[in-house]
Structure 1
Amino acid sequence: MTSTRLPGKILKEINGKSLLLYHLERLATTGLPVIIATTENVTDDPVVEFSKKNCIPYHRGSENNVLSRYYNAAVENSLDVIVRVTSDCPLIDGQLIRAGINRYLEEGNESTYLSNVLKRYFPRGFDFEIFSFSLLKDAFMNAQTTSDLEHVTPYINQNKSGKVNFLDVVDSEDNSDIRITVDTPEDFLLLDKLIKNYSADVLSGKEITKLFRKFPELMQINAHIEQKKL
């Protein structure tokens, strides 16, 4: 809720529905339960109220040590595999994630880190990472830098343990120039247009991508926005 560039962004509404609810509805197509890992700050009390109202499990932890928040949420819910997504991606593609989960499980290796973020072919806003509780625990026990603690997975995806097996999910075409994450007013304006004018909330990831190629003016709405650096 304390986003510096767009405060309260995840509970901002389009057509009477919050971005967080759009996000969760699209994640529901994975067939997996979702846990909201939020902070102990009073400013995130509305997120907890949202979770209670919608019967979504939640965990509250440190604002800055997000790695510990993830670890404790996983322990609390007895997880053995974690799929990490961020709540500023309301049009995330649940079926893309489901395919990633299937591939991860086929690998059968708890040292595997599978994602579509290291080799970026998909639009920013479709991001996901999959890793074992074992890798998460190793990061929790050994990570020390501020960046590792704040951003959860750098200790894992930079292979600081030296034992990570990488699997990259890439698309047949490079669509990494498309930005559908929400961090600024311009990002929100784009989401508002996508949902109100094109019903993007019920489209697949591929269909959303095609919209941007068919109507390139959509990309100009937030083309100048730079993603924050880790």
Structure 2
Amino acid sequence: MKINRAVIIQCRLSSTRLPQKALKPLGGKPILSWVLESMKKVKADAYYVATDRESYPIINEICQKNGFMCFAGSLDDVLDRYCSLIKEIKPSIVIRATADNPFLFYEAAEDSVIEFENKNKGKGKCDYFTYSNLPHGSGIEVFSANSLLKAQSDTSSQYEKEHVGPALYNHKDSFVCLFEKPSKDYDYPNYRTTVDTYSDYLHAIMIDQYLSKKSFVPPYKACQIVEACESKVVQNPIVLIPSTDKGHGTGHLHRCLQIAISIPSFIYIPKDATLPGINIIIDEYMKMGLENWQVINELPQKDYPAIFVLDDFNTSSEIFEKLNCGKSIISIDEGGSIHEEIDYLLDIIPSFKIERKANFVDTGYIQKPKNVRSEKSDKISNILICIGGEDPSSFTIPCVKIFSEKFPESKITAVGSSINNSNLENN
């Protein structure tokens, strides 16, 4: 069968900024699957993924599930990879996309091919065509297959061999290359939809979450992707950072998890968290609505424009430095040295002998019992000891000992998760 149009998507698994980014899960499937589904919407006679030999076994499996053929070629010389496939299948037109763009404007891609074909009618000539001003990561390129073969024979530039397109548009004396402004439906140059870094990946997750919550079905239309990019949820992502250290109790974690199941947000749980029972707690919140995508084990890079919410008890300067390029930093119950530099501070209960000015110091919101005694009694019959709920610093037992010595005739009731009979007997 004569092949006129061939969709060829380049993909490799040896990326360095975000390792194996094409396999990163997004909405329950790898990013590569998103690209293949989008490009299947573009009319063509052949659909291929061009990868390297080492990546081939894994990539081929995804291709088969999505109706694509898989071709293995050079790892670093992507231009040669394309040209080797061109020599094998002999298409007239090559439609190029990359495997790290899950939110392609497939309608604009089809329009691009039609424009390319129209410009080659009659005496017209066009070797390369693309729309400029699309979101970074939503566009494709259209080539004359013969022009790609000529460009390969002409160039010795490693950059051009790696990036393909420059082998033509850097040599406009030899090739007719057109960059045209798209219709207003696609003209959004300030948005970014590619997945090249970890921050891009988190951004892609938020785009998908916004659209899936609205019951849109992927591959998403251009207007839907634009709507997501313009939404407050995507433009102002929230990253919750609770304390996960042993000895700080689980209150910080519970508070952040409750926020996470209420609003779309990420919650940072480091791989080396030492808080006892942390996985059990997270599993319980999964049953209450927390989703897998929300739990991240790596902090975003400085270019991620997030609102960071710290509930870390004593945030280290190292963590703070990593977050200091975000949109805002909100801290809850902060006892560390960063209190002068954060944007918003909320004290749950101001620290004892606090050395800084707290933003909430009035404890009037803590309601006293209505039947509180107004007269003091010399005899204390009953003593209730409850310190911090979980008592992460194990103050309860020493307090029991002190009060039992001072009030030997009193009945002492101690409440705490770390108390057992042996503790009381030994103390």
Normalising by the smaller structure, the TM-score range is: 0.7 to 0.9
> Could you tell me which amino acid in structure 2 is paired with residue 193 of structure 1?
M
Change (3 A) 1:218 1:209: same
Q: Match of 1:78?
A: 90
What are the within-5 Å matches in structure 2 for residues 127-166 of structure 1?
A: 127-166=139-178
1:182 aligns with 2:195: yes
How far did 1:111 drift? Answer: 3.5
Structure 2 CA distance, aligned partners of 1:99 and 1:8? 31
Q: Is 1:125–1:181's contact at 8 Å kept on the other side of the alignment? A: yes
Question: Is residue 231 of structure 2 the alignment partner of residue 208 of structure 1?
Answer: no
**Letter aligned with residue 211 of structure 2:** Y
Identify the residue that residue 56 of structure 1 maps to in structure 2. 68
Matched-pair contact (CA < 8 Å) for 1:114–1:169: no
Tell me the CA shift for residue 53 of structure 1.
4.3
Higher-helix-fraction structure:
1
Secondary structure of the residue aligned to 2:98 is coil
2: CA distance between counterparts of 1:202 and 1:48? 21
Percentage identity across paired residues of the two chains: 24
Among candidates 105, 108, 113, match of residue 93 of structure 1: 105
When structure 1 is superposed on structure 2, of 161-170 and 144-153 the one drifting more is 161-170
Deviation at 1:174, TM superposition (A): 5.0
Query: Does structure 1 conserve the Cα–Cα contact (< 8 Å) formed by 2:128 and 2:141?
Result: yes
1:106–1:183 Cα change, 3 Å: same
**Cα drift, residue 78 of structure 1:** 1.5
Q: Is 1:65–1:149's contact at 8 Å kept on the other side of the alignment? A: yes
Whichever structure has more strand as a proportion of its residues is: 2
- Length, aligned pairs only: 220
- Structure 1 position 166, deviation (Å): 2.0
Q: Give the corresponding residue for 1:228.
A: none
Unaligned runs of 5+ in 2: 1-12, 238-300, 305-427
Q: Take 2:41 and 2:130, find their aligned partners in 1: how far apart are those partners?
A: 18
Structure 1 205/184 Cα, relative in aligned 2: closer, same or farther at 3 Å?
same
Aligned residue for 2:228, secondary structure, equals helix
1:112 to 107, 113, 127: 127
Q: Higher relative contact order at CA 8 Å, sep ≥6: structure 1 or structure 2?
A: 1
The code of the aligned residue for 1:181 comes to T
Please list the CA deviations of residues 97-153 of structure 1 after superposition, one character each: whole Å capped at 9, or x if unmatched: 00111111111245431112xxx3110111211110121011111111111111112
Residue 218 in structure 1 maps to residue 234 in structure 2: yes
Aligned counterpart, 1:191: 204
Moved more, 206-215 or 73-82: 206-215
> Is contact 1:179-1:223 (8 Å) kept?
no
- Matched AA of 1:20: L
TM, length-normalised to structure 2: 0.48
Q: Contact 2:135–2:190 (CA<8 Å) still a contact in 1?
A: yes
Q: Which has the larger radius of gyration?
A: 2
Distance 2:203 2:110 in 1: 26
CA RMSD of aligned residues (A): 2.3
Q: What is the deviation of 1:31? A: 2.3
Quote the offset at 1:182 in angstroms: 0.4
CA shift for structure 1 position 220:
5.5
Contact 1:100 1:169 in 2 (8 A): no
Q: Report the Cα distance in structure 2 between the residues aligned to 1:102 and 1:56, rounded to whole angstroms.
A: 22
AA at the equivalent of 1:35: Y
Give the aligned partner of residue 394 of structure 2: none
Q: Which amino acid aligns with 2:68?
A: I
TM-score normalised by length of structure 1: 0.86
Structure 1 SS opposite 2:40: helix
Cα deviation, residue 68, structure 1: 0.5
Superposition deviation, residue 4 in structure 1: 0.6
